[in-house]
Structure 1
Amino acid sequence: MVSKVVLSLNNLHVKFKTLSGTVNAVRGISYDLYEGETLALVGESGSGKSVSTKAITKVLPPNAAISGDSITYKGENLLKKSDSKMNKIRGSEIAMIFQDPMTSLNPILPVGFQIAEPIIEHQHLSKEKAKEKAIKLMERVGIVKAEERYSQYPHQFSGGMRQRVMIALAVACHPHIMIADEPTTALDVTIQAQIIELLKELNKEFNMSTIFITHDMGVVANIADRIAVMYAGKIVEFGTANEIFFNPKHPYTWGLLMAVPDVNIKDQDLYTIPGMPPNLLHVPKGDPFAFRNKYALNIDLEEEPPMFKVSDTHYAATWLLDEKAPKVEPPKEILDRWKYFEDHIENKQKEG
């Protein structure tokens, strides 16, 4: 059975005008999001993950310019919608969990009221009914003594509890799509695991489709159905979780996988990808990853690679997949981590 497409990005571009020039933050990305799935966007900071998702709901700053063919939701192009029409979609149909709840929550308003507010706005419930629903949501996301804590302020909550408040706020109107922007980055490992489990439960409970943004491939193994690897504003590899973890094709993906520490490997050196991502004020000629890629070919310095098809669900933008390219296998260090990822993905599939 083919899953229904709930959101479709087609050739999305985002540019920022700055005093130094124009930053090409997102450069022509396309993908579909399916009903009920979790799609992970992974990559280093500055790869365009958060910017691309903020473009969906048009919550970028004034110096941003969004262009492209379409962002299709419910048969309509969001790129053509006015801000007033987008206000009806934001929060009610497409919701976002931000990375830092302390800066995302209003410090001078009680957390319970902040959860109740969109319920009043979008579902047109009375203040009393909205409060009742907000308290139930606070209980559902694991906030004990929710009725008492309804009137407390963000600074009175721990980091993990603030993130639970953000999740309750995001699901308050039962959105169709959830965008989770690095929701576990600032949390310790134990709380991080709890938040991941909560998000997976809510995804099923509310029948949501989720876009999960992270730089942590270990987290991705626990939650993603499909993965888009982003670098320098573009998607450089796309596939199912199994394909990305156990048959990666792009050298950048290899680097991300090798950078994940495995507690089962003793005395391992932590791997880092050499060099720095390019300055997108001036996009380099050829493949932007070429200068960090020890497998780079001469053509990488001249021409950006197209997306090569690996399977019906797996694509990668690397000249190593060209029929004329030399045969190059993933580094052996990736093999050491496959058991780690296999265990995480197997657990996820058992739950699902």
Structure 2
Amino acid sequence: MENILEVNDLKVSFNTFAGEVQAVRGVNFHVKKGETLAIVGESGSGKSVTTQSIMRLIPMPPGEIKGGEILFEGTDLVKKSDKQMEKVRGKDIAMIFQDPMTSLNPTMKIGRQIMESMIKHRKIAKTDAKKRAIELLDLVGIPKPEQRVDQYPHEFSGGMRQRAMIAVALASDPKLLIADEPTTALDVTIQAQILELLKDIQKKTNTSIIFITHDLGVVANVADRVAVMYGGKIVETGSVDEVFYNPQHPYTWGLLASMPSLDAEEGELQAIPGSPPDLTNPPKGDAFAARNSYAMKVDFEMEPPMFKVSDTHYAATWLLHEDAPKVEPPAVVRKRIEHFKEKAGER
């Protein structure tokens, strides 16, 4: 299966009063046609900056793409002008944002907001665009779409607004859909419905999806592959099964351990100690070393390369070096892995 998107050595910085914030520091990943890649990590790890750079939505200044390339169907988006990017946004690549209330226009009817992209990019007549808007509202599970199409965002519930946002994103049949924490502001029941909806839409349309989240629990249900980000870099990448059943990076262990679980015993919930690094002055060596209880001397001196675990699984940790001591994930992580395997067996 060929790649629809390739991001190579992407570097993005922001010039601030405190100095240059190196938000993305040499990120590499790809997305194949029809697959879902989940990018996971704590707030401040560089997930949203990376994907907003793909859409070229980073405000410049203060932001700046300092290096690398973003190849979409073989064309480097970094080299495109703002005018050229207007033809890509919405038509080829669309984005679902975290909070629909700040993304939808409160003064425009929902149907009009869905129709806009179709009229602009696909030159569809208004009557046909409205018919398609009703179909899209139906596709995303909004009841009575013929009536809802003429309503305003404030007349929709939170879950329905997020569904409407997905309909807006799908309006021009994009080849790549970027979902930036689309379920964070929703309750657990609606969250599950939105995730099922995205999976269903992907089956029907074969759209590629980049799914950004800080919640590893969400990832297991929606993604084909996972990229774990920390300190502006990808520290582990692999298939969902590889990252969940055989995690290699201590940061991935920390994320798995800190996941809430109904099976956890009282007081068992873990947290990763410390705080993410200051990217105005990135640490020497492994950015996670100061928070890593397994850190060795080399972690504070040299940045680890991406070690190969399998043909599709890589992790940037010195623990994978042949001379490193053999370290097992902590007990709580091993327990989580067994839990995931049991759940997978039930499915």
Report the TM-score, using the length of structure 1 for normalisation: 0.96
1:10 aligns with one of 8, 14, 37 = 8
Partner of 2:97: 98
Alpha-carbon distance between aligned partners in 2 of 1:27 and 1:345, rounded to the nearest angstrom: 35
Alignment of 1:157-168 (within 5 A): 157-168=156-167
Q: Which consecutive unaligned segments of at least 5 residues does structure 1 have?
A: none
Alignment of 1:208-247 (within 5 A): 208-247=207-246
Alpha-carbon distance between aligned partners in 2 of 1:119 and 1:327, rounded to the nearest angstrom: 56
Partner of 1:88: 87
Moved more, 338-347 or 65-74: 338-347
Q: Contact 1:262–1:340 (CA<8 Å) still a contact in 2?
A: no
Residue 343 of structure 1: how far off its partner (Å): 5.0
Alpha-carbon distance between aligned partners in 2 of 1:208 and 1:342, rounded to the nearest angstrom: 28
Q: Contact 1:51–1:60 (CA<8 Å) still a contact in 2?
A: yes
Alignment of 1:52-201 (within 5 A): 52-62=50-60, 63-201=62-200
Q: Contact 2:4–2:72 (CA<8 Å) still a contact in 1?
A: yes
Q: Contact 1:67–1:79 (CA<8 Å) still a contact in 2?
A: no
Q: Percent identity?
A: 58
Alpha-carbon distance between aligned partners in 1 of 2:11 and 2:337, rounded to the nearest angstrom: 34
Alpha-carbon distance between aligned partners in 2 of 1:20 and 1:346, rounded to the nearest angstrom: 51
> How large is the RMSD of aligned CA atoms in angstroms?
1.2
Question: CA-to-partner distance for each residue in 1:268-305, whole Å, 9 max, x for gaps?
Answer: 52211000001111111111111100000001111111
Partner of 1:32: 30
Partner of 1:44: 42
Q: Contact 2:11–2:68 (CA<8 Å) still a contact in 1?
A: no
Question: CA-to-partner distance for each residue in 1:24-62, whole Å, 9 max, x for gaps?
Answer: 000000111111111000000000001001101101112
Alpha-carbon distance between aligned partners in 2 of 1:260 and 1:274, rounded to the nearest angstrom: 14
Residue 264 of structure 1: how far off its partner (Å): 2.5
Alpha-carbon distance between aligned partners in 1 of 2:15 and 2:103, rounded to the nearest angstrom: 24
Alpha-carbon distance between aligned partners in 1 of 2:140 and 2:324, rounded to the nearest angstrom: 51
Question: CA-to-partner distance for each residue in 1:114-171, whole Å, 9 max, x for gaps?
Answer: 0111011111111111111101101111111112121221122111011000100111
Residue 346 of structure 1: how far off its partner (Å): 5.6
Equivalent residue letter for 1:49:
K
Residue 267 of structure 1: how far off its partner (Å): 2.3
* SS at structure 2 position matched to 1:174: coil
Indicate whether 1:319 and 2:318 are aligned: yes
Structure 1 segments, 4+ long, off by >4 Å, are 343-347
Residue 344 of structure 1: how far off its partner (Å): 5.2
Q: Which consecutive unaligned segments of at least 5 residues does structure 2 have?
A: none
Equivalent residue letter for 1:56:
I
Alpha-carbon distance between aligned partners in 2 of 1:344 and 1:210, rounded to the nearest angstrom: 24
Alpha-carbon distance between aligned partners in 2 of 1:340 and 1:222, rounded to the nearest angstrom: 14
Question: CA-to-partner distance for each residue in 1:319-350, whole Å, 9 max, x for gaps?
Answer: 11111111101111112212432355567xx6
Equivalent residue letter for 2:228:
V
Partner of 2:253: 254
Equivalent residue letter for 2:143:
V
Question: CA-to-partner distance for each residue in 1:165-219, whole Å, 9 max, x for gaps?
Answer: 0100111111110100000101111111000000001111111111000000000
Q: Contact 1:15–1:66 (CA<8 Å) still a contact in 2?
A: yes
Equivalent residue letter for 1:263:
L
Alpha-carbon distance between aligned partners in 2 of 1:344 and 1:183, rounded to the nearest angstrom: 24
Partner of 1:205: 204
Q: Contact 1:222–1:344 (CA<8 Å) still a contact in 2?
A: no
